[in-house]
Structure 1
């Protein structure tokens, strides 16, 4: 009986899949977000915040659509985390000369993201699957909220009260909290990576694992897991 083989889509086809188009649209919108951030205009900053929020929402949408339509692709696994990092880091770096966030904070966040992304790539290449942890998920949420508040920047009155919300201060405190969680999650990820390497070495030494038979394991999705 003939066996039916499912053909894998090529790169050109994957580029036209809706989830991947949404991901690329996120990258395309980044310059527009940056241009609208303005220290003198609350309206422009608010528009920038709306664009930033919309791009953050499409991050959840493209993943949902990819899973629902069965179109989770290697291209998407590469582009999705890349788009996230570009959006976050480009916005933070852009706001440094505007005085909205301190240089040292951005340097630490950049160093963390680059180092963990490099470590994740090594883990993926070695076929090591490291599950996402709560610190990483909380860090991502706080980072998004903090950046959104820093973009809004200005003070706005609370309806029907005499109080104001200083979005700049709220954003700074939230970014500080995300920085603390970033450090904790990085330490945790390094520990998990070291443990996975040790366990793999022990399994190979005992003859339970063929070091050359990594392909099936390496194909698992590590890029989607936020460290």
Structure 2
């Protein structure tokens, strides 16, 4: 296993601590969870950068990276549903997209990396989850929810673009 793949896998190590801290959150535990989440999310950029820099792009990395991203995003979102901060149906839309793409990928002969819409989806999710985890004043509640819904929109758009037949996207370009 390559260094970038180890970094991808290490992203999972913070997830149990993050979920534990969000189970009965205090202001301090939320700040700690935010730090854990940001460090884990930043490894998503680091593993991709190193894979390209070290010429260690692999099919395992292309498979493992989005899978670990799903755990890192869905874990905190489910905790936030439990806390009543986000609606379950919004998280369900994200989950449905992720399962649809994962199922679609199983039938592909080669695994492609993320396109710009997938990257926008990931960045918007990281921003939204960070805002929702942070113990911010009440004035931030609506902007945090707006960020969440923007991430849901990017998630659905990126999923639709991912599943469009290549001939359809080339004809419309």
Question: By the TM > 0.5 criterion, same fold?
Answer: yes
Tell me the CA shift for residue 71 of structure 1. 2.1
Which structure ranks higher in relative contact order (CA pairs < 8 Å, sequence separation ≥ 6)?
A: 2
Name the residue aligned to 2:127: 145
Task: Please report the TM-score for the alignment, with normalisation by the length of structure 2.
Answer: 0.85
Give the Cα–Cα distance (whole angstroms) in 1 for the partners of residues 112 and 5 of structure 2. 24
Measured after TM superposition, the shift of residue 138 of structure 1 is 2.0
Which digits, 9 at most, give the CA deviation of each residue in 1:61-86, with x for residues without a partner? 11111222222233222221111111
In terms of fraction of residues, the more helix-rich structure is 2
Which one of 19, 23, 32 corresponds to residue 34 of structure 1? Answer: 19
Q: Which residue of 1 aligns with 2:7?
A: 22
Partners of 1:89 and 1:128 in 2: CA distance: 22
Structure 1 stretches of 4+ with a deviation exceeding 4 A read 127-131
The correspondence of residues 93-172 of structure 1 with structure 2, limited to 5 A, is 93-122=78-107, 124-125=108-109, 127=110, 132=115, 134-155=116-137, 165-166=139-140, 168-172=141-145
Q: Give, in whole Å, the separation in 2 of the partners of 1:140 and 1:48.
A: 18
RMSD of aligned C-alpha atoms?
2.5
Which range moved further: 78-87 or 168-177?
A: 168-177
* Contact 2:124-2:154 within 8 A present in 1 as well: no
Over 3 Å counting, the alpha-carbon distance change for 1:47 and 1:135 in structure 2 is: same
Q: Structure 1 stretches of 5 or more lacking a match?
A: 1-13, 156-163, 200-227
1:129, CA displacement in angstroms?
5.9
| Correspondent of 2:47 among 52, 62, 67 | 62
Instruction: Provide structure 2 residue ranges, at least 5 long, that are not aligned to the other structure.
Output: none
Tell whether the 8 Å contact from 1:146 to 1:170 is kept in structure 2 after alignment. Answer: no
Q: Give how far 1:44 is off.
A: 0.8
Number of residue equivalences: 170
Give the conservation status (yes or no) of the 8 Å contact 2:9–2:68.
yes
Matched, 1:51 2:32: no
Q: TM-score, normalised by structure 1?
A: 0.66
Please identify the structure whose Cα radius of gyration is greater. Answer: 1
- The 1:22/1:41 distance shift into structure 2, 3 A limit, reads same
Residue 67 of structure 2 is aligned to residue 85 of structure 1: no
Preserved contact between residue 38 and residue 44 of structure 1 (Cα < 8 Å): no
CA distance in 2, matches of 1:80, 1:129: 12
